[in-house]
Amino acid sequence: MADMNKKIPYKIYLTEDEMPKQWYNLRADMKNKPAPLLNPGTLKPLTAEELAPIFCDELIAQELDDTTAYFDIPEEIFEYYKTYRPAPLMRAYNLEKALGTPAKIYYKFEGNNTSGSHKLNSALAQAYYAKKQGLKGVTTETGAGQWGTALSMACAYFDLDCKVYMVKVSYEQKPFRREVMKTYGASVTPSPSTTTAIGRKILEDHPGTTGSLGCAISEAVEVATTQEGYRYVLGSVLNQVLLHQSIIGLEAKAALDKYEITPDIIIGCAGGGSNLGGLIAPFMGEKLRGEKDYRIIAVEPASCPSFTRGKFAYDFCDTGMICPLAKMYTLGSGFIPSPNHAGGLRFHGMSSTLSQLYHDGLMEAVSVEQTSVFEAAEQFARTEGILPAPESSHAIRAAIDEALKCKESGEEKTILFGLTGTGYFDMVAYEKFHDGEMSDYIPTDEDLAAGFAGIPKFPGNEI
């Protein structure tokens, strides 16, 4: 068996010619389509016309299209993809050995670009379509900073203005992230800020708040809809983002196919769901079409447990309640994770597509506590060499746990997980872990009830 294994290299690369030339739209193969975005005023599905002041036109078309299976990747985007893709598919031989597991572990590594994450895959697409529409610039929010960095890079490449609202706690804890964004020409404002009406209101209602992604989204949307020539772009959650991120799964599958490897278990961390949705896309497509079966596991923090403890309901995507309503697993748009939560993945909701798949029993979800996530991160760094992002380390935790189960049962399962990025800008969190100052705050049912109370009530949306 060991000899068979050795035939598979540590890194499986595709050539440029073997790279996927199209994105895959998972929704095309779903029988139960994700519920449409609703206009919060009328509670009717949003039309392209209504979305036009917020998003770029071509991105709206992608957002609303749940029947076209494949979209050509425009040449201009593909050219930039080639500077950092294909991303390697790695065989975690060293981790397997350290664990003493018969499981075979593979990971798709998306951290090989300056943003340090998979987010550049969608940032490039979104900046490209904004430029093509003749816009001046785009606005966005960023939490840990990877999305803001990715978008800054993409805007620099396509010569667009980039205004980033950065969750205040991250702005203060991650000054280097901020400066990287400025290096690429973006303006960066800590959120909530006094530069927007919604920011001023949030500050009035919650003085001293350290911010949340939801607040920052509200601010970025307000600026995009009130300044001419700007649109809002979002780095996760939306269908269009999952579409762009399908490049992750398509490449991973092409690399596995080269060696006739079929994963049994596919694991990804879930914040808003974009890397997971992208990684699983072609595999879930096979599952939906009845061609193959896989176990698919979403991993989320126990401190922000949208899938495992949230409600499946229409909710706002932002704290300011100005964004469309999306049907998703949610903790309520007013939910703000405990400030000692250092591992990212702090969004209150989840992609509608993944929510529907989870609701239909096509995938599983687990929640993990942050100290165990950092233990896994450290074990991974020491064996595989890559310093993982805390977000990615949620997937590492679950992959190790599955591999350890194989050790007990003696099963030689093949595990694929998404290693979404690197953790160089997360050393404050690592420091807390090393100094024993990290705790595992898990919200109580009462904490969650307060968030659920903010979910809008209307007929058909009972929780």
Ligand X SMILES: *Cc1c(COP(=O)(O)O)cnc(C)c1O
Number of residues near ligand X (by CB under 6 A): 19
Binding flag, residue 345, ligand X (CB under 6 A): yes
3-state helix, strand, coil in the chain (%, to 5): 45, 15, 40
Written as six digits, the tokens of 311 are 């409600």
Pair 265, 402: CB distance under 8 Å: yes
Cα gap 238→274, rounded to integer Å: 8
Q: Which is nearer to ligand X, 143 or 320 (CB)?
A: 143
Alpha carbons within 13 A on the beta-carbon side of 94: 11
Q: Which of 341, 300, 338, 348 is nearest to 426 (CA)?
A: 341
Q: Hunting for tokens 């909530």 — which residue is that?
A: 192
Written as six digits, the tokens of 6 are 């050795």
Please give the residues from 283 up to 322 whose contact with ligand X meets the rule CB under 6 A: none
Q: Which is nearer to ligand X, 146 or 352 (CB)?
A: 146
Q: List the one residue from 343, 421, 443, 451 that touches ligand X (CB under 6 A).
A: 421
CA distances from 2 to 11, 264, 376, 380, 402 (A): 17, 19, 25, 22, 20
Q: List the one residue from 330, 355, 370, 392 that touches ligand X (CB under 6 A).
A: 392
Binding flag, residue 37, ligand X (CB under 6 A): no
Cα gap 295→282, rounded to integer Å: 13
What is the chain's length? 463
Nearest distance from C-beta of residue 100 to ligand X, angstroms: 28
- Which phi-psi region, left, alpha or beta, contains residue 83 (left: φ > 0; alpha: ψ -120 to 50)? alpha
Q: Which is nearer to ligand X, 135 or 267 (CB)?
A: 267
Q: Is the dihedral of CA 347, 352, 353, 355 positive or negative?
A: positive
Q: Which is nearer to ligand X, 125 or 135 (CB)?
A: 125
Please give the residues from 75 up to 134 whose contact with ligand X meets the rule CB under 6 A: 117, 119
Q: List the one residue from 141, 222, 391, 426 that touches ligand X (CB under 6 A).
A: 391
Binding flag, residue 146, ligand X (CB under 6 A): yes
Q: Hunting for tokens 């031989």 — which residue is that?
A: 93
Question: Which range in 7-15, 203-211, 363-371, 388-396 contacts ligand X by CB under 6 A?
Answer: 388-396
- Which phi-psi region, left, alpha or beta, contains residue 260 (left: φ > 0; alpha: ψ -120 to 50)? left
Q: Which of 302, 248, 272, 285 is nearest to 106 (CA)?
A: 248
Q: List the one residue from 152, 236, 239, 240 that touches ligand X (CB under 6 A).
A: 236
Binding flag, residue 269, ligand X (CB under 6 A): yes
Question: Which range in 35-43, 263-271, 429-437, 439-447 contacts ligand X by CB under 6 A?
Answer: 263-271
Q: Is the dihedral of CA 64, 69, 72, 73 positive or negative?
A: positive
Written as six digits, the tokens of 28 are 């095309």
Binding flag, residue 273, ligand X (CB under 6 A): yes
Q: List the one residue from 20, 199, 263, 271 that touches ligand X (CB under 6 A).
A: 271
Q: List the one residue from 105, 180, 270, 399 that touches ligand X (CB under 6 A).
A: 270
Cα gap 213→348, rounded to integer Å: 8
Nearest distance from C-beta of residue 392 to ligand X, angstroms: 5
Nearest distance from C-beta of residue 271 to ligand X, angstroms: 3
Q: Which is nearer to ligand X, 251 or 391 (CB)?
A: 391
Binding mask of the shown chain, residues 201 to 230, with x at each position contacting ligand X by CB under 6 A: ------------------------------
Q: Which is nearer to ligand X, 34 or 421 (CB)?
A: 421
Q: Which is nearer to ligand X, 196 or 420 (CB)?
A: 420
Binding flag, residue 420, ligand X (CB under 6 A): yes
Pair 430, 381: CB distance under 8 Å: no
Q: List the one residue from 140, 274, 333, 367 that touches ligand X (CB under 6 A).
A: 274
Residue numbers of the site for ligand X (CB under 6 A)?
Answer: 117, 119, 146-147, 236, 269-276, 345, 389, 391-392, 420-421
